[in-house]
Amino acid sequence: MPKIPVEQLKPGMKLARPLENASGMVLMAEGTELTEARISKIENMGIDSVYIDGPSRPARPKEELLAALEERFSKVGNSPPMALIKKAVKEHIEAMYG
Amino acid sequence: MANMDPKALRSRVENISTIPTIPSVLKQLSAIIENPKISLNEISHFVSQDPALTTKILQMVNSALYGFPGRISSVNHAVMLLGLNVVKGLLLSVSVFEIMHKAMIGLREHSIGVAIASKVLGRKKGLKEPEEVFVAGLLHDVGKVILTLAWPEEYEKTVKDAEAAGIAIFDAERSHFSETHAAVAGWLAEKWHFPRKLCECIANHHRPQVSTLAPLETAIVHTADVIVKARGIGYSGDRLVPGVNPGAWETLGLSEADLREILKELEDSVEQTEEEFRA
């Protein structure tokens, strides 16, 4: 789940973690869908970023991650379980880029 | 050093308090945990004298990945909920994390990843105490830290040899030290009186086929290690994905959908955990 700066929040995003004040009181529950009003409320509370549902977009380009994946698997051979693991990881990486 | 006597190696490892580079909190904790009759009160007392350790252990059990977010307020409470063995394992892990990060950058992230993947696998396979394999995952590579601290130059050479030859770190360890980090961690787990099943799955995480007491748990930690390396989370001495043991793979019977689910949970938890445990 990505941690998104408040200025990049958009209506429709969902909180991946409850929003709490300094004393631990829950202000918005996990799963709350953001609206314009809720976003400005968060801004007014002086919070700079919140956890949002969904995969984080990795900092490195997709090609680089996929090349590193090939490199990691370069010595292991292609037995059915390893092929399945590699396929699952590859699809998992590709899905992170949407 | 290629023909290092395994007995000498073991005795040096078991006397970790004589290794000067071992952090003092780990030495003290190890001395307490070595006592087989250690009581819950003694552990709580020791931890309560060390505010940094208290904070770290409570942070860990209260993190979202552990399932009790914000609800565990004391070490006593943690032991009641999680059991003495799990708390012992968590204490040793948090006291080793900082040095782990210095000994091998990325090993902490790798260990947390294997712990999480083990726990998810444990839950899937219906283990009664998935926390135990979580602990085994956290500690499975502690042998690398001990080898680095006790023989810094030799271990650095081992890592370089593995990289240069394109072989797995445990094969390079065998030729430099006559034993692997898995054996080292297994000796320590025994010394710390962890249940035999837990010791076995730590000691055999690279050869799950020899596990007799805990074949399922060992298959879990072994496969978790492969998955975490396949995903490239952290660093553990080499960048190569080791082949999964066919017997262990069969024991777990994972489908592609299972793998996808594990990868997803791993991604979410590792991200959170890294933030929470940044030393």
In Å, what is the CA distance from B4 to each residue of B10, B20, B86, B151, B183? 10, 20, 33, 12, 14
* pLDDT tens track for B10-44: 999 999 888 888 888 899 889 888 888 888 888 88
B216-269 confidence digits (pLDDT tens): 999 999 999 999 999 999 999 888 999 999 999 999 999 999 999 999 989 877
Pull the structure tokens for residue B164: 């240069």
pLDDT of residue B275: 57
Q: What is the pLDDT of residue B227?
A: 97
For chains A and B, CB pairs below 8 A equal 64
CA B259 to chain CA centroid, nearest Å: 22
Res. A60: pLDDT tops 60: yes
Interface test with A, best of B58, B72, B231, B265 (most A CBs within 10 A): B231
Please report which confidence band the pLDDT of residue A19 belongs to, taking 50, 70 and 90 as the band edges. confident
Question: Which segment of B98-102, B120-124, B200-204 scores lowest on mean pLDDT?
Answer: B98-102
Instruction: Give A24's contacts in chain B (Cβ within 8 Å).
Output: 70
Specify whether the CB–CB gap between B20 and B6 falls below 8 A. no
- The average confidence (pLDDT) of chain B is 89
Predicted local confidence at residue B279, as pLDDT: 43
The reply to whether B246 touches chain A by the CB within 8 Å rule is yes
Strand partners, A26: A20
Instruction: Write down the ipTM of this complex.
Output: 0.88
Helix axis angle, B196-203 relative to B130-139, nearest 10°? Answer: 40
